[in-house]
Structure 1
C-alpha cells in the first residue's frame, strides 16, 4: 500500500512537471513570435534559447546560430552549432559555420564548409569565397580554379562589397575575380609576374574605377617594380 501511494505521488509529480514544461514551451514560443514581429533581436535570441533548453531542436538551434551570425556574433553562433562538418547539416548550418569560421580567422576550417556550400549550390559568389580562402592559405592552383569558374559564371548584376575604406563600396563581381586573379598571378612569381599582375588589375579598374583595393594593389606592385629597378641601377662594389 505504501509503495502504491509513493508511485501515485511520483506519477502525479511527473504529470505536473510535464504540464509546466508544456506551458513554458507555449509561453516562449509565443514570446519568440512576438519578439520577431517587433524586430527585437535580443528578444528573439532569448526566446529561442529558452525553447532549445525546454525542447531541443536542430532547426531551432540553426535559426539561433543564424541570428547570431547576422548580428556579427560569430563566436556565439559557432558555440551554438559547433564547427565540425556533419552529413545531415542543414544549408543554414553549413552557411553559418563557413561564414563565422572565416570571420574568426580560421580559413582552412571555413574552407571545408564553403566547399560543401558550393557542392550543394554551385555559384559565382561562393566561388569567390573559395578562391579567396585558397589564396590565403597559398593553394594557388585551387584558387585559380575557382577564379576561372567565377569569371565564366559571374553575371552583370552580381556585386562584391568591400569595407576597407571609411565608406563601403561595391564593384561588379567579375572585377572582384580579376582582382584575385592579379594577386594570385603575382604570388606565383613575385619577381617575374609583376607586369602581368598589373595588367590584370588594370582590367579590373576599367570595369570598376572605384575599386580601391585594386588601385592599392596596383600602386604597391608599381612601387615594388620601381624599387627593384632603382636597386639594379646602383653600382656594385
Structure 2
C-alpha cells in the first residue's frame, strides 16, 4: 500500500510540473506575441511620425522599439536625432561617450559633434580623427585644425590645414556665426584664414608678414570674409601705427 501511495504522490508531482511548464510556455508565447504586436505598433507609429515630421514622436517611437528589441543601429539613429535637436547630453547618454571599435560612422559623428558642442574639445578630437581616417574629408580636417588651434596644438593644427588644402573641393564651404547674419565662405578661403592664425601664433613677430599674405589669399577668394578682414585689420602695420599714435 505504501508503494501505491508513493506512486500516486509521484504522479501528482509530475502532473504539477507538467501543468507549470504548460502555463510557463503559454505565458512565454503570449509575451512573445505581445512584444511582436507592440513592435509592429511602434514601427507603424514611427513611420507615421516621420511622415508628419514630428521629432518628439520619432524619439518616443525609437525609444520604445529599443526597449522591445534593442538595436545598436536604432540607438545610433536616436542619438543622431537628439544631436540634430541640440540635445547633446541626451545624445551621449543614448550611445555613450567612449570610443569603441564597433562605432558606426553615425555614432562617431554624434560623439564628435556632441562633445565639441559641450565644450569638451580634447574629448572630441579622437572621434573627428576616426571620421577623417575613414573618408579624408576636408571639412573634417578643418574641424581638427580648428580644435587643435584652440587647444594651442599648433603643429597638429598645421598638419590638418595642409591635409585639408590638399583635398578641399571648390564646392565645399564653411559657415561663420560671429555676425548677426550667419554667412558662408569657400572652405579653401577658411583654410587660408586658419593657416594665418596658426602661423601668427607660432611666432607673433617673425610670422606676421606670412600671416598677412595668407589672409590676402583668403580675401582674394572671399573679399567679404568678415573674420579674415578683422584679422587683417588687427595685424596690419597701418592699423597698429594709428593705434599707437592715439
What TM-score does the superposition give when structure 1 sets the normalisation length?
0.91
SS class of match (2:97): coil
2: CA distance, partners of 1:202 / 1:224: 15
2: CA distance, partners of 1:212 / 1:228: 21
After TM superposition, give the deviation of residue 223 of structure 1 in Å: 8.2
SS class of match (2:184): strand
Preserved CA contact (<8 Å) 2:43 2:61: yes
Preserved CA contact (<8 Å) 1:101 1:107: yes
After TM superposition, give the deviation of residue 29 of structure 1 in Å: 0.7
> Quick check: 1:121 aligned with 2:138?
no
Q: Which residue in 2 is equivalent to 1:210?
A: 224
Note the 1:24-43 alignment, pairs <5 A.
Answer: 24-43=38-57
After TM superposition, give the deviation of residue 122 of structure 1 in Å: 0.6
1: CA distance, partners of 2:131 / 2:73: 18
Structure 2 unaligned spans of 5+: 1-14
Q: Which residue in 1 is equivalent to 2:98?
A: 84
After TM superposition, give the deviation of residue 198 of structure 1 in Å: 2.4
After TM superposition, give the deviation of residue 227 of structure 1 in Å: 7.2
Q: Which residue in 2 is equivalent to 1:13?
A: 27
2: CA distance, partners of 1:227 / 1:13: 86
Note the 1:150-161 alignment, pairs <5 A.
Answer: 150-161=164-175
Cα RMSD for the two superposed structures: 2.0
Preserved CA contact (<8 Å) 1:160 1:171: yes
Which of residues 54, 58, 62 in structure 1 aligns to 2:72?
Answer: 58
SS class of match (2:156): helix
Structure 1 unaligned spans of 5+: none
Q: Which residue in 1 is equivalent to 2:146?
A: 132
Question: Structure 1 pair 135/7, CA: closer, same or farther in 2 (3 Å)?
Answer: same
2: CA distance, partners of 1:208 / 1:143: 22
Q: Deviations over 1:144-164 (max 9, x none)?
A: 111112222212211111112
1: CA distance, partners of 2:184 / 2:104: 30
1: CA distance, partners of 2:70 / 2:42: 13
Which of residues 203, 207, 213 in structure 2 aligns to 1:193?
Answer: 207
Q: Which residue in 1 is equivalent to 2:197?
A: 183
Q: Which residue in 1 is equivalent to 2:3?
A: none
Q: Which residue in 1 is equivalent to 2:178?
A: 164
Number of residue equivalences: 231
1: CA distance, partners of 2:67 / 2:89: 19
1: CA distance, partners of 2:114 / 2:169: 26
Preserved CA contact (<8 Å) 1:128 1:150: yes
After TM superposition, give the deviation of residue 225 of structure 1 in Å: 7.4
Preserved CA contact (<8 Å) 1:194 1:225: no
2: CA distance, partners of 1:21 / 1:82: 27
After TM superposition, give the deviation of residue 89 of structure 1 in Å: 1.0
SS class of match (1:160): strand
Q: Which residue in 2 is equivalent to 1:98?
A: 112
After TM superposition, give the deviation of residue 126 of structure 1 in Å: 1.1
2: CA distance, partners of 1:50 / 1:228: 65
